[in-house]
Amino acid sequence: MAKISSCPTFPSSISRHTYHYRLTACHVATPTTTITIPFADLHPSLEVIGGARNRFLPALHSTLRHPYDPFPFIAWNPHVETIFASFFRSMPDVRLRRECLRTQDGGTVALDWVAGDQYQLPPDSPILILMPGLTGGSENSYPRHMLTKARSKGWRVVVFNSRGCGNSPVTTPQFYSASFVGDMREVVEHVSGIYPEANLYAAAWSLGANILVRYLGDESHACPLSGAISLCNPFNLVYAFEEFTKGFNRVYDKALARSIRNIFKRHILLFEDIGGEYNIPLALNARQVRDFDEGLTRVSFGFKSLDEYYYKASCFHSIKHVQVPLLCIQAANDPISPARAIPREEIEANRNCLLIVTPKGGHLGWVAGAEAPLGGPWTDPVVMDFLEHLERGTHKTVESSNGPLTVTSKNLHHAEV
């Protein structure tokens, strides 16, 4: 069982840039040998911080010691990279099997599994639940690439399509929101019930990442996941929607509003004569995401105003309550999930969290690495290294804000204080 020995620490007044050069090494002790991980080897193009830094860096060191090398011409501008990845990244050909899950309130979400895996993989194969961003689903390239990468390592993968997304049916007059974790909770319980011998993990992007981190915080010590990954997380929706009103970002705002409108129009009969504070015409003709949220979302989930919804739905509040290993990966130039929204202090204070910030990447882009420009994003191998590190069981102690918890089973989340 590997154990991370204590590493030198420095006062918080030292800048993070200086910190990368002053901290020289971390020692990883095993029953047979001691490995020295030199922190100076972490390439300065990457920001790597978090309370779990010393615990998880050994698993990521082979990647993080190299510079983040964005693909020429494409990554010179975050908007170019974002749009290129959205329209030109390859689409892995994967045959999926759909399962529609009816939720307790009568709603429906769609779970897309890799066809045939129910027969080919052992019942205790680790499971990765993927949750795409706003209006995203299993038809998008970024979850497909992550799916194929995990599947090649022997993982069972399922894409969680939220209500109305990925052609998931809408069966009640309610969509999903940044604040609602009920569907996530039911999906995890359902998947765990099918494969009780397997460890469960989750990875999510953009608004899906916001929902995932809120779920981790809400579940806290009771979380049944053994680890999670957050990518392109907006963290603070107030800041994110402020950015939506600026410059070229208006193009994304209009595109997302159009996608939401199209989903809404297909199910408009469910909302006839709904009454109350709902403004169906505003939602039906939304030119901005804010219009749809004002007309429908914030009313559906009981918020008095749009400002209250965006603030209370933001997942930065939840970071301090996360009690399972969490890797967050952000791009410093993300036009939709701004760097100023990253809750660095909260991530530093939580010994279960690690943050990696790349200098470029756009939103859902990361056109860099061995597969650039048309293959999977730079993040996929990092995510798999992190997940396989957790699954191998080399990390046996889950840290909490009050100190270590002793694991009593092979699942990291089954612990006693």
* Length of the chain, in residues: 417
- Choosing from 125, 138, 162, 206, which is the catalytic residue? 206
How many Å from the N-terminal Cα to the C-terminal Cα in the chain?
A: 20
- Choosing from 321, 363, 389, 395, which is the catalytic residue? 363
Is residue 334 annotated as a catalytic residue, yes or no? yes
| 373 prior amide bond cis, ω within 30 | yes
Exposure pattern of 339-355 as b/e (b: 16+ CB <10 Å)? eebbbeebbbebbbbbb
Q: DSSP states of 180-222 as a string?
A: --HHHHHHHHHHHHH-TTS-EEEEEEHHHHHHHHHHHHHHGGG
**35 membership: H or E segment, kind and range:** strand 34-37
Number of Cβ atoms within 10 Å of the Cβ of 318: 22
Say if CB 63 and CB 116 are below 8 A apart: no
Is residue 145 annotated as a catalytic residue, yes or no? no
Distances (CA, A) of 99 to 77, 102, 161, 197: 39, 10, 10, 20
What is the phi/psi pair of residue 198, to 5°?
-100, 150
- Choosing from 318, 334, 395, 413, which is the catalytic residue? 334
Closest CA to 94 of 35, 145, 30: 145
Is residue 321 annotated as a catalytic residue, yes or no? no
Q: Token digits for 194? A: 């099918």
How distant is the alpha carbon of residue 252 from its chain centre?
20
Active site residues: 206, 334, 363
